[in-house]
C-alpha cells in the first residue's frame, strides 16, 4: 500500500468516525437538552454589605483603585 493510499484511507476513516460522533451528539442533545438560562430578573443581586466588602478588599490590595462594576461570573 502506498503512502498516498494509506493517507486517503486514514482520512476517510477519520471523517466517518467524526460523522458518527456528530450524529450521536445530536441525538444526545435532543434527549438531554441544556438547562434554560435564568432570566435577568432572577439574576443574583449583590447587596450593599458584599459590595462594601469587595470595595475594602480592593482598596487594601490596590491603594487608590476603585470598583466600577460588580458582576457574577458563572
User: How confident is the model over 8-64, as pLDDT tens digits?
Assistant: 999 999 999 999 999 999 999 999 988 776 555 455 566 788 888 988 999 999 999
Phi and psi based region of residue 64 (left: phi greater than 0; alpha: psi -120 to 50; beta: remaining): left
**Is the pTM higher than 0.75?**
no
DSSP label at 64?
T
What CA–CA distance (Å, rounded) separates 54 from 45?
A: 14
pLDDT on residue 66: 87
Q: pLDDT band for position 3 (50/70/90)?
A: very high
pLDDT on residue 7: 97
Amino acid at each position: 500500500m502506498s503512502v498516498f493510499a494509506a493517507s486517503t484511507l486514514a482520512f476517510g476513516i477519520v471523517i466517518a468516525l467524526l460523522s458518527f460522533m456528530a450524529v450521536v451528539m445530536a441525538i444526545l442533545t435532543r434527549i438531554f437538552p441544556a438547562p434554560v438560562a435564568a432570566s435577568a430578573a432572577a439574576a443574583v443581586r449583590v447587596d450593599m454589605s458584599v459590595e462594601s466588602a469587595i470595595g475594602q478588599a480592593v482598596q487594601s490590595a490596590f491603594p487608590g483603585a476603585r470598583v466600577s462594576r460588580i458582576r457574577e461570573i458563572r
